[in-house]
């Protein structure tokens, strides 16, 4: 009996160490968020799947992997398409992609997602009113 309980405890402990909590998965997966500083000309979005994130950064599509632990979030392996666009849009895109590499924390407040970088910069997103994306 002790061996069974110990085995179950080990399984629960390992499951608790996974990088993505089910609360976060249910909260952000399948939804699109739009950066609040976006304009009609430069609309920046972020979407989350089970272990991946992706979006549009004003000129290019981008993608990567993410992990979550508590209120910490790490975005990694950020890549993008290589299209050229207007100088202003390219500069904003570069700043945005650079900030993604520095994200350390996240907060969800109703339809608002806040990503905070190591320097304290906040990327504030609102959930897109369009229909929920497929999970």
Residues 52-56 have a mean pLDDT of 97
The per-residue pLDDT for range 62-71, each reduced to its tens digit, is: 999 999 999 9
d(CA 4, CA 120): 46
Task: Round the average pLDDT of the chain to a whole number and report it.
Answer: 81
Please report, for the domain that includes residue 25, its CATH number. Answer: 2.40.128.270
60 touches 92 (CB < 8 A): no
Q: Is residue 4 part of a domain?
A: no
Convert the pLDDT of each residue in 82-131 to its tens digit.
Answer: 999 999 889 999 999 999 999 999 999 889 999 999 999 999 999 998 64
Burial of 66 (0-12, 13-18, 19+ CB in 10 A): buried
Instruction: Report the domain count for the chain.
Output: 1
pLDDT band at 27 (very low <50, low <70, confident <90, very high): confident
With respect to residue 104, please indicate whether it lies within any of the assigned structural domains: yes
Q: Is 24 or 76 the better-scoring residue by pLDDT? A: 76
Q: Which of 14-23, 41-50, 52-61 has the lowest mean pLDDT?
A: 14-23
pTM of the model: 0.76
Give the mean model confidence (pLDDT) for residues 32-48. Answer: 90
In a domain, 1, yes or no: no
Domain annotation covers residue 6: no
Q: What is the pLDDT of residue 10?
A: 39
Provide the b/e sequence for 47-64 (b: ≥16 CB within 10 Å).
Answer: bbbeeebbbbbbbbebeb
Residue 95: inside a domain? yes
| Owning domain of residue 32 | 19-127
Q: Is 115 part of a structural domain of the chain?
A: yes
Can you give the pLDDT at residue 81?
96
- Is residue 134 domain-resident? no
pLDDT at res. 26: 54
Q: Length of the chain, please? A: 135
Please check whether residue 52 lies inside any domain of the structure.
yes
């Amino acid at each position: 009996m002790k061996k069974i309980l110990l085995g179950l405890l080990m399984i629960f402990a390992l499951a608790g160490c996974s990088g993505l909590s089910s609360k976060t998965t249910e909260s952000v997966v399948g939804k699109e968020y739009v950066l609040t500083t976006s304009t009609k000309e430069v609309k920046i979005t972020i979407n989350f799947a089970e272990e991946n994130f992706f979006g549009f950064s004003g000129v290019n599509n981008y993608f990567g992997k993410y992990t979550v632990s508590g209120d910490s979030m790490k975005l990694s392996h950020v890549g993008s398409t290589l299209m050229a666009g207007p100088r202003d849009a390219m500069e904003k895109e570069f700043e945005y992609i650079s900030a993604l590499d520095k994200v350390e924390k996240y907060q969800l407040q109703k339809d608002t997602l806040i990503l905070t970088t190591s320097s304290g910069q906040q990327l504030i997103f609102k959930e897109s009113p369009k229909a929920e994306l497929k999970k």
